[in-house]
């Protein structure tokens, strides 16, 4: 079987998948292990792919055959809800999109936009008017550029964390507590993310199995 590298911006996003791996060990900034008989490694890119040079080096030196770029994304399409698993068609390799798009793993598929800063609800609504865009994140475009450069097939698939009409609570953006309502919003969002991390791991396990079935 080919080796699969799964990338996340932050460790918190992928910790549930990391715990699913057996025979885990650390090497070169990665956590490597097995998902059944499949070799899988998990790597954290940093927000906005701060570790781009190291990511490129890992792909070049460790010879992963497929990259899955995952984590969370903000919805732009109005019907998407937290927990929906979405395929970024424009940042994924066409041959993998063709193979996986009809699979029931994904709630939706379409174009993603990569942004430089976390978008609030007003920004997402504005992007919604600019074209047929399903979601946005901060890493997919740069990951896709590295994978194209090195000719490594890529699947970019993320779970929706916030609807098109809501933003990330300010507490998580370093804005502190400005009103009592901020506390309840932060607790609610944190509880949501604990559930979604486990759900994301479930979907990624299904995706990895689907990729392997497609290669048989």
**How would you class 182 by CB atoms within 10 Å of its CB: exposed for 0-12, middle for 13-18, buried for 19 or more?**
middle
Instruction: Enter the DSSP assignment of 29.
Output: T
Distance CA 87, CA 195 (A): 20
- Whole-number pLDDT of residue 119: 82
**Segments of the chain scoring below 50 in pLDDT:** 216
176-209 per-position pLDDT tens digit? 566 667 677 778 888 988 999 999 999 999 999 9
- Whole-number pLDDT of residue 184: 72
For 3, list phi and psi in degrees, rounded to 5. -85, 135
Q: How many domains does the chain have?
A: 1
Distance CA 162, CA 25 (A): 33
Pick from 167, 163, 197: which is nearest to 81 by CA? 163
For residue 207, give its domain range: 4-215
pTM of the model: 0.89
- Whole-number pLDDT of residue 113: 92
Residue 68 belongs to domain with CATH number: 3.40.50.1580
Distance CA 39, CA 34 (A): 5
- Whole-number pLDDT of residue 101: 79
Neighbours of 94 (CB within 10 A): 10
């Amino acid at each position: 079987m080919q080796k699969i590298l799964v990338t996340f911006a932050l460790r918190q996003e992928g910790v549930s998948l990391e715990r699913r791996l057996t025979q885990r060990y650390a090497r070169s900034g990665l956590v490597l292990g097995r998902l059944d008989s499949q070799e899988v490694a998990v790597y954290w890119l940093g927000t906005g792919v701060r570790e781009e040079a190291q990511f490129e080096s890992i792909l070049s030196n460790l010879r992963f055959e497929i990259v899955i770029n995952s984590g969370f994304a903000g919805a732009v399409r109005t019907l998407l809800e937290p927990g929906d698993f979405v395929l970024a068609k424009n940042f994924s390799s066409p041959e993998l999109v063709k193979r996986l798009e009809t699979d029931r793993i994904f709630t939706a598929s379409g174009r993603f936009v990569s942004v430089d800063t976390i978008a609030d609800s007003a920004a997402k609504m504005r992007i919604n008017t600019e074209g047929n865009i399903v979601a946005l994140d901060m890493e997919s475009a740069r990951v896709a550029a590295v994978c194209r450069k090195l000719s490594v097939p890529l699947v970019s698939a993320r779970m929706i964390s916030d609807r098109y009409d809501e933003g990330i609570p300010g507490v998580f953006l370093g804005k502190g507590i400005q009103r009592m309502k901020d506390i309840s919003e932060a607790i609610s969002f944190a509880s949501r993310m604990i559930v979604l991390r486990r759900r994301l791991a479930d979907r990624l396990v299904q995706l990895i199995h689907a990729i392997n079935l497609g290669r048989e």
